[in-house]
Every structure is written in C-alpha cells, then in structure tokens.
Amino acid sequence: MKKYLLLLVTAVIFFGCSTTSPTKAPSIGSTIVPTTASTAVIQKSLRPLLGEESFSLNVCSELTSDFVSQVTGLQIKKTKDFSNSTSMGCSYFTTDSETGPFVMVVVDFLNVEDQKTGLKALGRTLKTDPRIKMDHFLTYQENGILNDIYLIMTPDKFVRVERSGVDIISDGHFIDSASSLVEKILYR
C-alpha cells in the first residue's frame, strides 16, 4: 500500500510541476517571462516569415507614414505603393512631389545569395552592423557611401531599405531607422 501511495504522490508532484511552469503561454503566441518576484513581461510572438501573415503584403499599410516619420525623423508628406511581379514596397516622400527626396522600403522575393553576388560584381562592399538585430547586410559603394540595407527574412525573401540620397538622412540615422523596422518585420 505504501508503494502505491508513494508512486501516486510522485506522479502528482511530477505532473503538477510540469503543467504550472512560469513560462507557460497564457494565450496563443505569447509567453510570460519572470523578471522579478512581483512582475512579468509578456513577449510578442514571432510572425511567420512567409505567407499572408508575414510582413510584405501591403508595406504602405504596415509601415504608416507616421511610423516612418517617427523612426527616420523625416516629415513624410506622401506615400506611393511600389510593387511589381517580384517585390512589394512603399516610397515615403518628404515633399508632395514624387520626384522629391524619399526613403523606400521594399520586400523582394529574390535569392539573397544571388543579390550578394550581383552587388559584389558592381563593386559594392557588404558589411553588417550590430545595431540591427536580425540577419542583414549593408551595401557600400566604392567611395564609401552607404547605398541600401538588406534585412534577410529567408534565403529567398528580404526587406530592402533605400534612400534617395545621402542628404536626406545620415548613415547612422539610416541604420538606426532600419533597425527600428526589425520589430515590425519579425513580430505581430
């Protein structure tokens, strides 16, 4: 009898502990992470990198002009969808004219390694920056000017961040702005 009672108590303790873990998800897609005895942080869930819930279907809607203004420090006066058969994107203009200064965010469905090969053939130098917290690379011209920032989602999908010229936003602020996009790209 004592053996059965000991076995029952052991089973209750084992199964009871395994189902009351402090990191058990309170709802689908989020996790409670203990930070102190009295507080907890709810983490956002990763969004899919492919499919209709992934970042890409309507860039102008997902990255509003207000959001782009906030992360770039630029006053965005006009947006324009920039989509074609292999990419979806949005241009954010600082004037009412589509010929004025702009920043652009484009989701490309192209092979990343092929892009790197092509960029190197054009004489571009590829670098990374620790401020950007996802797989990425930055492209620099032979004269040291930062061209584009590539935020890599999959081997065949990436987000390219561009600017119309170096006078619209400094390199450092451009990199910081791209870094701010990571949360929008990766999380719900």
User: Per-residue pLDDT tens for 89-131?
Assistant: 999 999 988 888 999 999 888 999 999 999 999 999 999 999 9
- Cα–Cα dist 80/74, whole Å: 16
Q: Do 65 and 153 fall into the same domain?
A: yes
Domain assignment of residue 48, yes or no:
no
- Say if pTM beats, i.e. exceeds, 0.85: no
> What range does the domain containing 138 cover?
59-186
Q: Do 134 and 173 fall into the same domain?
A: yes
How many domains is the chain built from?
A: 2
Q: Do 27 and 98 fall into the same domain?
A: no
- Cα–Cα dist 138/157, whole Å: 16
Residue type, 156: D
User: Per-residue pLDDT tens for 127-175?
Assistant: 999 999 999 999 999 999 999 999 998 899 899 999 998 889 999 999 9
What size, in residues, is the chain?
Answer: 188
